[in-house]
Amino acid sequence: MRVKSLSKEKRSILILILIVAILTSLFLFLGLTGKNINYFFPRRLRKVLAVFLASYCVGYSSVSFQTITNNKILTPSIIGLDSLYLFLQTIIVFFFGNAGVSKLTGLPNYLLSIGLMVLCSFFLFFGMFKGNSKNLYFMVLAGTIFGGLFSGLASFMQVLMDPNEFSLVQGKMFASFNQMNTDLLSISIVIVAVIAFLARRDFSKLNALGLGQAQAISLGVPYRRTVFRTLMYIAILTAVSTALVGPITFLGILVVSIARNLVSTYRHEIRVPIAVLLGALALLGGLLFVERILHHSTQISVVINFIGGCYFIYLVLKEGKS
């Protein structure tokens, strides 16, 4: 039984790798000719890399967030991490203005945003987690309210803004794989690789956390430290993916639920890769659909949000019945 289920998990991963590989090569090579290869190929390659980075960020964050909250429907977007990011961007544009922003594009802005984001989440999580009676649900609730506060403040500032400045912010409000900075791509790869390496070491602890807080503590998992660390990884990854391609946490609920339906294992060594591969599949498929069939007439987030929304309704109906 055990051997059989293991091979089923491996088979699912292999099939997903195969599909993602096919989509990747379609995306890379479709319509390439000797003439345009020098123009298109590097651009497409960058997009594919960004897709994989974003998939990892979303896949890991969603799976681990559901484990630490012990909940099947929550995703990190509930604690308002991407609203926090947009809020910070709005503040930067609001206070530094058009002139300041020209100095603040690219790498400095990126590092500043990620730094601020990590700092803010650190205080948010730390403050929520320090008290005796406070628990994770308190933090999630507070995060939801803070998320609302951030997006409210952000839209307030956007109303007051100069329209030219607003268009700068607006560019960051939607997921896009078209306007990416190559400098950001390489540093993002480094950051994500480091986090992925660190996060990998906590997988066995996350597995035990699946049994619930009390049981995990009984098994010797340092609960607070592990949860806090995981939340920080999630904050950093959300910052990286949002800075790189815009808010894409909406992808989370989709990949994590399909991953659970594909293989019903508790092991993060399997669940995270499957969620990441599903994310890459959805993003590549969505990009191909938007670029080739809809001819850029809409945003990829619209396509994925539509599919994700339908799936979410299906999920709620199904959970309600059982």
Question: Which residues contact another protein by CB under 8 A?
Answer: 1-2, 66, 70-72, 132-133, 203-205, 207-208, 210-215, 217-222, 264-266
| Closer by beta carbon to another protein, 33 or else 132 | 132
Q: From the CB of 9, what's the least distance to another protein, in Å?
A: 13
What is the chain's alpha carbon radius of gyration, rounded to the nearest angstrom? 20
Q: From the CB of 212, what's the least distance to another protein, in Å?
A: 7
Contact 189, 50 (CB under 8 A): no
| Closer by beta carbon to another protein, 99 or else 214 | 214
What gap in Å lies between CA 136 and CA 227, rounded to an integer?
9
| Closer by beta carbon to another protein, 104 or else 209 | 209
Q: From the CB of 218, what's the least distance to another protein, in Å?
A: 5
The amino acid present at 69, given as its one-letter code, is: T
What gap in Å lies between CA 309 and CA 313, rounded to an integer?
6
What gap in Å lies between CA 154 and CA 181, rounded to an integer?
24
Q: From the CB of 79, what's the least distance to another protein, in Å?
A: 18
DSSP-derived 3-state class of residue 181: coil
| Closer by beta carbon to another protein, 24 or else 62 | 62
| Closer by beta carbon to another protein, 190 or else 214 | 214
Which are the contacts of 104, defined by CB distance < 8 A and separation ≥ 6? 92, 96, 112
Burial of 230 (0-12, 13-18, 19+ CB in 10 A): buried
| Closer by beta carbon to another protein, 2 or else 321 | 2
**What's the farthest any 2 CA atoms get from each other in the chain?**
66
What sections of 161-212 are H helices per DSSP? 163-173, 182-200, 203-209
Contact 9, 265 (CB under 8 A): yes
Q: From the CB of 245, what's the least distance to another protein, in Å?
A: 30
Q: From the CB of 265, what's the least distance to another protein, in Å?
A: 8
| Closer by beta carbon to another protein, 85 or else 125 | 125
Q: From the CB of 4, what's the least distance to another protein, in Å?
A: 10
| Closer by beta carbon to another protein, 162 or else 269 | 269
What six digits make up the tokens of 70? 């012990």
Going from the C-alpha of 208 to that of each of 60, 64, 221, 223, 284, the distances in angstroms are 17, 12, 7, 10, 33
What gap in Å lies between CA 145 and CA 139, rounded to an integer?
10
| Closer by beta carbon to another protein, 242 or else 265 | 265
End-to-end C-alpha distance for the chain, whole angstroms: 26
DSSP secondary-structure letter at 135?
-
Q: From the CB of 317, what's the least distance to another protein, in Å?
A: 19
Q: From the CB of 307, what's the least distance to another protein, in Å?
A: 24
